[in-house]
Amino acid sequence: MGRASDELKAETVILRASQAIQEVIRKDVANYGLNPTEYSVLELLYHMGDQPIQMIGKKVLISSSSITYVVDKLEQKKYVRRQGCPEDRRVIYAVLTGEGKALMDEIIPQHAIKIEEVFNDLNADEVNQTIELLKRVGCKAINN
Protein backbone atom coordinates (compact mmCIF):
# COMPACT_ATOMS: atom_id res chain seq x y z
CA MET A 1 0.00 0.00 0.00
CA GLY A 2 1.70 3.18 -1.23
CA ARG A 3 1.68 6.61 0.31
CA ALA A 4 -1.00 8.07 -1.97
CA SER A 5 -3.31 5.16 -1.23
CA ASP A 6 -2.98 5.71 2.52
CA GLU A 7 -3.95 9.30 2.04
CA LEU A 8 -7.03 8.45 0.00
CA LYS A 9 -7.93 6.14 2.84
CA ALA A 10 -7.35 8.89 5.39
CA GLU A 11 -9.57 11.18 3.35
CA THR A 12 -12.39 8.63 3.42
CA VAL A 13 -12.01 7.92 7.11
CA ILE A 14 -12.04 11.60 8.05
CA LEU A 15 -15.14 12.24 5.99
CA ARG A 16 -16.96 9.22 7.40
CA ALA A 17 -15.99 9.99 11.00
CA SER A 18 -16.99 13.61 10.70
CA GLN A 19 -20.28 12.74 9.08
CA ALA A 20 -21.00 10.28 11.86
CA ILE A 21 -20.24 12.98 14.42
CA GLN A 22 -22.37 15.45 12.45
CA GLU A 23 -25.21 12.98 12.80
CA VAL A 24 -24.73 12.77 16.57
CA ILE A 25 -24.74 16.55 16.75
CA ARG A 26 -27.78 16.78 14.49
CA LYS A 27 -29.82 14.50 16.71
CA ASP A 28 -28.61 16.14 19.90
CA VAL A 29 -29.23 19.78 18.98
CA ALA A 30 -32.54 18.91 17.30
CA ASN A 31 -33.83 18.57 20.86
CA TYR A 32 -33.34 22.32 21.15
CA GLY A 33 -34.82 23.18 17.76
CA LEU A 34 -31.43 23.83 16.15
CA ASN A 35 -29.67 22.39 13.14
CA PRO A 36 -25.90 21.71 13.13
CA THR A 37 -25.03 24.94 11.35
CA GLU A 38 -27.06 27.02 13.75
CA TYR A 39 -25.38 25.25 16.64
CA SER A 40 -21.92 25.87 15.17
CA VAL A 41 -22.62 29.58 14.85
CA LEU A 42 -24.01 29.88 18.38
CA GLU A 43 -21.06 27.89 19.70
CA LEU A 44 -18.64 30.22 17.93
CA LEU A 45 -20.28 33.34 19.34
CA TYR A 46 -20.50 31.78 22.79
CA HIS A 47 -16.82 30.88 22.97
CA MET A 48 -15.24 33.59 20.82
CA GLY A 49 -17.56 36.54 21.45
CA ASP A 50 -19.43 38.69 18.94
CA GLN A 51 -18.17 38.24 15.39
CA PRO A 52 -18.52 40.06 12.08
CA ILE A 53 -20.74 38.13 9.68
CA GLN A 54 -17.94 37.29 7.29
CA MET A 55 -15.73 36.04 10.13
CA ILE A 56 -18.42 33.51 11.00
CA GLY A 57 -18.29 32.23 7.45
CA LYS A 58 -14.53 31.82 7.61
CA LYS A 59 -14.60 29.99 10.93
CA VAL A 60 -17.60 27.76 10.28
CA LEU A 61 -16.62 27.37 6.61
CA ILE A 62 -19.88 28.14 4.87
CA SER A 63 -20.60 30.50 1.98
CA SER A 64 -21.60 34.12 2.47
CA SER A 65 -25.15 33.52 1.30
CA SER A 66 -25.54 30.69 3.81
CA ILE A 67 -24.38 32.89 6.68
CA THR A 68 -27.00 35.47 5.81
CA TYR A 69 -29.58 32.70 5.85
CA VAL A 70 -28.44 31.16 9.14
CA VAL A 71 -28.14 34.49 10.94
CA ASP A 72 -31.65 35.36 9.68
CA LYS A 73 -32.95 32.15 11.26
CA LEU A 74 -31.13 32.74 14.54
CA GLU A 75 -32.41 36.31 14.59
CA GLN A 76 -35.98 35.06 14.11
CA LYS A 77 -35.44 32.74 17.06
CA LYS A 78 -34.14 35.69 19.12
CA TYR A 79 -30.83 33.98 19.88
CA VAL A 80 -28.78 36.49 17.89
CA ARG A 81 -29.13 40.09 16.76
CA ARG A 82 -27.34 42.10 14.07
CA GLN A 83 -25.37 45.16 15.14
CA GLY A 84 -23.72 47.57 12.74
CA CYS A 85 -20.08 48.52 13.25
CA PRO A 86 -19.59 52.30 13.58
CA GLU A 87 -15.92 52.26 12.49
CA ASP A 88 -16.59 50.37 9.27
CA ARG A 89 -20.14 50.67 8.10
CA ARG A 90 -19.84 47.71 5.74
CA VAL A 91 -19.44 45.38 8.71
CA ILE A 92 -22.30 43.86 10.67
CA TYR A 93 -21.71 41.97 13.89
CA ALA A 94 -23.69 38.95 14.98
CA VAL A 95 -24.29 39.38 18.70
CA LEU A 96 -25.49 36.68 21.07
CA THR A 97 -28.63 37.79 22.94
CA GLY A 98 -29.34 36.97 26.57
CA GLU A 99 -31.70 34.26 25.36
CA GLY A 100 -28.98 32.88 23.11
CA LYS A 101 -26.46 32.78 25.92
CA ALA A 102 -28.98 31.14 28.25
CA LEU A 103 -29.69 28.47 25.62
CA MET A 104 -26.02 27.67 25.20
CA ASP A 105 -25.51 27.59 28.97
CA GLU A 106 -28.11 24.85 28.94
CA ILE A 107 -27.05 22.98 25.79
CA ILE A 108 -23.30 22.79 26.15
CA PRO A 109 -23.06 20.57 29.27
CA GLN A 110 -25.62 18.14 27.82
CA HIS A 111 -23.86 18.22 24.49
CA ALA A 112 -20.49 17.54 26.11
CA ILE A 113 -21.87 14.31 27.53
CA LYS A 114 -22.95 13.11 24.07
CA ILE A 115 -19.56 13.94 22.61
CA GLU A 116 -17.80 12.27 25.52
CA GLU A 117 -19.52 9.02 24.59
CA VAL A 118 -18.20 9.29 21.04
CA PHE A 119 -14.61 9.64 22.27
CA ASN A 120 -15.10 7.04 24.95
CA ASP A 121 -12.65 4.54 23.49
CA LEU A 122 -9.85 7.10 23.26
CA ASN A 123 -7.73 7.99 26.27
CA ALA A 124 -6.73 11.59 26.99
CA ASP A 125 -3.47 11.34 25.06
CA GLU A 126 -5.22 9.97 22.01
CA VAL A 127 -7.79 12.76 22.09
CA ASN A 128 -4.97 15.30 22.09
CA GLN A 129 -3.14 13.47 19.30
CA THR A 130 -6.30 13.56 17.21
CA ILE A 131 -6.64 17.28 17.80
CA GLU A 132 -3.03 18.00 16.85
CA LEU A 133 -3.03 15.84 13.72
CA LEU A 134 -6.29 17.22 12.42
CA LYS A 135 -5.34 20.79 13.16
CA ARG A 136 -2.38 20.41 10.85
CA VAL A 137 -4.48 18.72 8.16
CA GLY A 138 -7.22 21.33 8.46
CA CYS A 139 -4.82 24.26 8.15
CA LYS A 140 -3.25 22.74 5.08
CA ALA A 141 -6.63 22.06 3.48
CA ILE A 142 -7.86 25.62 3.99
CA ASN A 143 -4.93 26.92 1.91
CA ASN A 144 -6.24 24.72 -0.91
Residues within the interface to a second copy (CB under 8 A): 3-25, 27, 40, 43, 61, 108, 111-113, 115-122, 124, 126-131, 133-138, 140-142, 144
> In what helix (H) or strand (E) does residue 79 lie, and over which residues does it extend?
none
Residues in binding contact with DNA, number by CB under 7 A:
27
Nearer to DNA, 32 or 52 (CB): 52
* Angstrom distance (rounded) from CA 56 to CA 9: 30
Helical segments of the chain, H only: 3-30, 36-48, 53-60, 64-76, 98-118, 124-142
Give min distance, CB of 51 to a second copy, in A. 15
How many Å is the Cα radius of gyration of the chain? 17
* Angstrom distance (rounded) from CA 26 to CA 116: 16
* Angstrom distance (rounded) from CA 47 to CA 2: 41
Nearer to DNA, 30 or 115 (CB): 30
Give min distance, CB of 85 to a second copy, in A. 25
Site for DNA in 55-114 (CB under 7 A): 55, 62-71, 73, 82, 88-93
Of 51, 37, 32, which is closest to residue 104 (Cα–Cα)?
A: 32
Binding map of DNA across residues 36-55, x = CB under 7 A, - = no contact: xxx-------------xxxx
Of 87, 80, 90, which is closest to residue 44 (Cα–Cα)?
A: 80
Residue 48 interface partner, choices DNA, a second copy, none, CB cut-off 5-8 Å depending on type:
none
Nearer to a second copy, 69 or 83 (CB): 69
Binding site for DNA (CB under 7 A): 26, 35-38, 52-55, 62-71, 73, 82, 88-93
